[in-house]
């Protein structure tokens, strides 16, 4: 798949503009704070219905305006699909596919498959478990509509259960009603655990080879799924922790507390790895994600690189560049020297200045 065009109106610092992309490598360069990352954010919005930088849709609207409109055309298997997103300050977000409004967000998920890689992702290994859960959720939601459904339902039930925990005074008051929420939490939670387990199993097979290549065969990387609770023991753990949950007003058991461990030659690099090891593992993870998506959807995803090359050493730069030959890639950077040095075959080059994108020739 590849993106053909992106149209922005009153989006962030863009008043209006249309970008026509190459099927190969597209580079947007310019000084900082000119709007390069805003383009990637708008693409990500069309793929997932949300920004990867903020939870507030209103922040996407250009200062002083009441609404923003983003339109994207993606080609999948020689068929064009149009995605339209309207965001208004005082109304619900509207999404249409081929000019037909959608009723449920899962109709959008997977239509455009993107993988985004930014300098922040290089900290994925050393950051907290929330970031690693987010990584799993984003990818699985694009790959699997059922996962998206169960994740949505799980968090709705979790919110209801937590509200109940916060508004009771003692164990006896809650004992009869909590089971209603527990049964639903377990039902959706087990499906989430099953799908995460399968996803990480498949990813492990891919990442071991990639990481071995990047490290020159000196390191063996293994990912371990750290489940907060087993599927068989879910109900019992909820019951055991109920008094504690009442005390703190939140649910302490479930896949919303899951994590991943990264072992390099048997050592947990979240705690004991060098920055170089952590960055190499993060790069391996992103490259493995590309391969997994290709295997799952029998197509190529769109890769978004947000000023990441400058954060990598020469060897890692070259390895990353080697993967770009067969997929559409949209890159932001302040200068193009690294790409020229790595002999990247550039499809289109754009200069971005204060919310204006100009084809550079």
**What is the per-residue pLDDT across 33-62, written as a single tens digit (0 to 9) for each?**
999 999 999 999 999 999 999 989 999 999
Geometric angle at alpha carbon 115, from 109 and 117, rounded to 5°: 145
* Higher per-residue confidence, 9 vs 320: 9
Q: Is 228 annotated as a binding residue?
A: no
How open is the CA angle 258-259-263, to the nearest 5 degrees?
150
32 is in an annotated binding site: yes
- Hey, what domains does the chain have and what are their CATH numbers? 1-113+299-361 (3.40.50.300), 122-296 (1.20.1050.90)
| Mean pLDDT for the chain overall | 92
Average pLDDT estimate for 11-35: 95
38 is in an annotated binding site: no
Confirm whether residue 217 is marked as ligand binding: no
Known binding residue 142? Answer is no
pLDDT at 339: 78
pLDDT at 171: 64
On whether 37 is known to bind a ligand per the annotation, the reply is yes
Please indicate if the annotation marks 36 as binding a ligand: yes
Which pLDDT value is given to residue 169? 67
Query: Is the distance from CB of 267 to CB of 223 less than 8 angstroms?
Result: no
Percent pLDDT > 90 in the chain is: 78
Q: Is 34 annotated as a binding residue?
A: yes
Q: What is the pLDDT of residue 168?
A: 79
What is the token pair recorded at 75? 């080609």
For residue 319, pLDDT over 70 is answered with: yes
Measured CA to CA in angstroms, residue 45 lies from 40, 57, 341 at distances of 9, 10, 32
């Amino acid at each position: 798949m590849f993106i053909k065009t992106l149209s922005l109106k009153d989006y962030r610092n863009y008043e209006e503009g249309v970008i026509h992309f190459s099927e190969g490598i597209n580079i947007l360069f310019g000084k900082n704070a000119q709007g390069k990352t805003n383009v990637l954010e708008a693409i990500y919005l069309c793929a997932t219905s949300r920004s990867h930088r903020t939870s507030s849709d209103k922040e996407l609207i250009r200062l002083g305006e009441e609404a923003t409109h983003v339109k994207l055309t993606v080609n999948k298997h020689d068929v064009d699909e149009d995605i339209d997103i309207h965001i208004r300050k005082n109304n619900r977000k509207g999404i249409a596919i081929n000019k037909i409004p959608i009723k449920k967000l899962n109709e959008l998920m997977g239509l455009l498959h993107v993988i985004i890689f930014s300098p922040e992702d290089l900290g994925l290994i050393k950051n907290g478990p929330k970031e690693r859960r987010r990584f799993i959720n984003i990818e699985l939601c694009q790959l699997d509509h059922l996962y998206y459904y169960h994740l949505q339902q799980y968090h709705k039930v979790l919110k209801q259960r937590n509200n109940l925990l916060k508004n009771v005074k003692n164990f006896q008051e809650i004992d009869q009603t909590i089971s209603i929420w527990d049964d639903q939490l377990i039902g959706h939670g087990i499906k989430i655990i099953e799908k995460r387990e399968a996803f990480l199993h498949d990813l492990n097979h891919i990442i071991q080879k990639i990481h071995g290549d990047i490290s020159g065969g000196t390191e063996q990387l293994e990912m371990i799924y750290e489940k907060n609770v087993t599927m068989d023991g879910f109900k019992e753990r909820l019951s055991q922790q109920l008094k504690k949950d009442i005390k703190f007003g939140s649910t302490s058991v479930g896949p919303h507390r899951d994590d991943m461990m990264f072992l390099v030659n048997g050592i947990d690099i979240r705690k004991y790895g060098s920055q170089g090891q952590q960055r190499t593992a993060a790069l391996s993870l992103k490259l493995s994600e590309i391969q997994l998506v290709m295997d799952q959807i029998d197509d190529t995803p769109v890769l978004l690189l947000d000023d990441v090359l400058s954060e990598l050493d020469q060897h890692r730069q070259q390895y990353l560049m080697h993967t770009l030959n067969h997929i559409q890639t949209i890159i932001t950077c302040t200068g193009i020297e690294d790409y020229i040095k790595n002999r990247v075959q550039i499809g289109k080059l754009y200069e971005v200045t204060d919310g204006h994108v100009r084809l550079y020739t």
